[in-house]
A and B are shown apart, each in its own frame.
Chain A
Amino acid sequence: MKKFDMRKLEENFFKILMIGSCVIVTGSLALILWSILRRGLPAMSLDMVSSVPKGGFYMGGEGGILNAIVGSLLLASGASVLAFLLSLPVSIGLNVYLRRGSRLASFARFSLDVLNGVPSIVYGAFGFALMLFFGLKASLLAGIITVALLILPIMCRAMDEVFQMVPKDMMDVSHSLGATRLQAALSVLTRQALPGITTAILISFGRGIGDAASVLFTAGYSDNLPSSVLSPVASLPLAIFFQLGTPVPEVQDRAYASALILTTMILLLSIGARVASRKLSRNIIK
């Protein structure tokens, strides 16, 4: 009889565990997509993406969710730009100006990680308080600011991680040719980290566009396209929420169609991120 081989058993056990986990992960993604497609696809129409809600839309009337698509794109892009303008100096500061063992740097990283764990409804409430303080109404601007706060920690930490990967030698070269720290950061650090920065921005954009709680009080909701940064805007997550909340099955199906639109946007974004980072890595030193 063959000897009982414990190592082989271990090997097989972990193989099964690994395959099982992969199946669960891809399976849940497939189930989500399937349920959205099953109910959303029949409700999908050109009207959905090309017109704003008309009278009685939420009772099964005509119209679409163009207001929410435009609103979400504006909110997420505005927030990404704003967050990027803050993240870039923060992450450059953490990696170029502060020493590696600096207490301030580790405190800043810790704070960002804590902020990252704060639920988005809290950002919503904070944004709301901020909005009242500045005398703003629920508007595109207030929404952008709140979403920017929400995605700031993700973007900062993601950029911080990419910057940490840039070899110190490269910065030394730049310094030894006479660059100031800022010059070295802008001409070498950001260039070497460009694909990573792009990914960081797109991940944050994706997080921002999908969040409902932060825009609930701050961006408001409107059936019209926004006319200025001070007018309230609709957003896709809230559009889904409102449509699902109606008792009309037809409108509920439209919620799935809206979810399909949001998911497709995020999917396109991920593909875009991959393509972009491949293009941008042309000059990168491996």
Chain B
Amino acid sequence: MDTKTHISVRNLNVHYKESHALRNINIDIPDKKITVILGPSGCGKSTLLKCFNRLIDTVEDVKVTGQVLVDGEDLFSPDAEVTHIRKKMGLLSQRPVPLPMSIYDNVAYGPRLHGLRKRAALDAIVEKHLKMASLWDEVEGRLHEPASKLSIGQQQRLCLARGLAVGPEIILGDEPTSALDPKSSRHIEQRFLELKNEYTIVIVTHILRQAKRLADYVVFLYLGELIEHGPAQEMFENPKEEMTREYMKGIIS
């Protein structure tokens, strides 16, 4: 696979108070592809994702060493500007987390944080990103209703629109469909497939079938260690490591 690297992880170690959550991780995440991080629960998938936007900072008693380079810039270097880093990443969490405001204000939240005040410009941003998340048609007439009035599936698409509205380069999804019904999950997956031409997408999942539907590149973690990573086809059909093979067959989960 001939691609540019967008995120490089170098010798990354994460220690929680009593556990070594990530052990010496080295990966290159390709640009404008969907990378799926696979692995059983508790293997450090979410921790790795949290390192990418430094949301790991908000976790207590955590120690991070190593480097995460985004466009060659180290996220963990002391001069890294954390709000700037986070602006590059849109995050979708396990359950949709709408903010306590209207549908409109949810999407406009990020742009407003970064100083945009003009009504017309905000209107345009809100419309554009709700359309990208294919939510526009469902909410067009009720943009000023509370976001909590939406269904869970709609809320997750709202969160996607909100993440996209800050103009990120990277979309991070932490099991983004795990709280959704099958139809809403498909909806979100479809959006990912559309968006991958413009964004680098990194998704954590433990659903093997979902990984097969989405992945261009696969990273397999087990108990905090990187077992294997590579292009999706290779990883699914002909993994090198015994452990990956077993996981793909469903022997370990």
Contacts from A to B (Cβ < 8 Å)? 99-101, 167-180, 183, 187-188, 191-192, 282-286
Contacts of A192 in B (CB 8 A): 100
Closest to A169 in B: B97
A188 CA / B109 CA spacing, docked (Å): 10
A179 CA / B100 CA spacing, docked (Å): 15
Query: What is the distance, in angstroms, from B129's C-beta to the closest C-beta of chain A?
Result: 12
Check A179–B55 contact: CB distance below 8 A. no
Check A283–B146 contact: CB distance below 8 A. yes
Check B110–A167 contact: CB distance below 8 A. no
Query: What is the distance, in angstroms, from A167's C-beta to the closest C-beta of chain B?
Result: 7
Interface residues of B in 41-67 (CB under 8 A from A): 53, 55, 58, 60
Check B98–A285 contact: CB distance below 8 A. yes
Contacts of B95 in A (CB 8 A): 169
Check A174–B87 contact: CB distance below 8 A. no
Quick one: given A177-B87, A192-B100, are A286 and B148 in contact (CB under 8 Å)? yes
Closest to A284 in B: B100
Check B60–A101 contact: CB distance below 8 A. yes
Closest to B81 in A: A178
Contacts of B100 in A (CB 8 A): 170, 188, 191-192, 283-285
Check B110–A177 contact: CB distance below 8 A. yes
Check A178–B99 contact: CB distance below 8 A. no
Residue from A99, A169, A178 within 8 A of B60 (CB atoms): A99
Quick one: given A100-B60, A172-B55, A173-B97, are A178 and B113 in contact (CB under 8 Å)? yes
Quick one: given A178-B114, A285-B148, are A173 and B166 in contact (CB under 8 Å)? no
Check B83–A178 contact: CB distance below 8 A. yes
Check A177–B55 contact: CB distance below 8 A. no
Residue from B101, B146, B163 within 8 A of A177 (CB atoms): B163
Query: What is the distance, in angstroms, from A283's C-beta to the closest C-beta of chain B?
Result: 5
A283 CA / B99 CA spacing, docked (Å): 8
Interface-centre pick from A171, A172, A191, A192 (highest chain B CB count, 10 A): A172
Residue from A170, A178, A183, A283 within 8 A of B97 (CB atoms): A170
Residue from A99, A168, A178 within 8 A of B84 (CB atoms): A178
Contacts from B to A (Cβ < 8 Å)? 53, 55, 58, 60, 83-84, 86-87, 89-91, 93, 95, 97-102, 109-110, 113-114, 146-148, 159, 162-163, 166
Residue from A167, A177, A283 within 8 A of B86 (CB atoms): A177
Check B147–A176 contact: CB distance below 8 A. no
Check B147–A285 contact: CB distance below 8 A. yes
Query: What is the distance, in angstroms, from A106's C-beta to the closest C-beta of chain B?
Result: 14
Check A176–B109 contact: CB distance below 8 A. no
Contacts of A180 in B (CB 8 A): 83
Residue from A99, A172, A177, A283 within 8 A of B102 (CB atoms): A283
Check B55–A175 contact: CB distance below 8 A. yes
A-B contact pairs, 12 of them (CB 8 A): A169-B93, A169-B95, A173-B97, A173-B99, A174-B109, A176-B53, A176-B163, A178-B87, A191-B100, A284-B146, A285-B147, A286-B148
Check A188–B99 contact: CB distance below 8 A. yes
Contacts of B113 in A (CB 8 A): 174, 177-179, 183, 187
Closest to A189 in B: B100
Query: What is the distance, in angstroms, from B238's C-beta to the closest C-beta of chain A?
Result: 36
Contacts of B101 in A (CB 8 A): 191, 283
Query: What is the distance, in angstroms, from B70's C-beta to the closest C-beta of chain A?
Result: 14
Query: What is the distance, in angstroms, from A159's C-beta to the closest C-beta of chain B?
Result: 16
Closest to B100 in A: A192
Query: What is the distance, in angstroms, from A278's C-beta to the closest C-beta of chain B?
Result: 14
A282 CA / B102 CA spacing, docked (Å): 9
Contacts of B58 in A (CB 8 A): 168, 171-172, 175
Contacts of A191 in B (CB 8 A): 99-101
Closest to B155 in A: A285
Check B148–A283 contact: CB distance below 8 A. yes
Query: What is the distance, in angstroms, from A211's C-beta to the closest C-beta of chain B?
Result: 34
Contacts of B109 in A (CB 8 A): 174, 177, 187
Apart from A172-B93, A174-B113, A188-B100: 14 A-B pairs, beta carbons within 8 A: A99-B60, A101-B60, A169-B95, A170-B100, A173-B97, A177-B109, A177-B166, A178-B113, A179-B83, A187-B109, A188-B99, A191-B100, A191-B101, A286-B148
Interface-centre pick from A171, A187, A285 (highest chain B CB count, 10 A): A285
A169 CA / B94 CA spacing, docked (Å): 10
Contacts of A178 in B (CB 8 A): 83-84, 86-87, 110, 113-114, 166
A282 CA / B162 CA spacing, docked (Å): 20
Closest to A177 in B: B110
Contacts of A170 in B (CB 8 A): 97, 99-100
Contacts of B53 in A (CB 8 A): 176
Interface-centre pick from B83, B84, B114 (highest chain A CB count, 10 A): B83
A77 CA / B70 CA spacing, docked (Å): 52
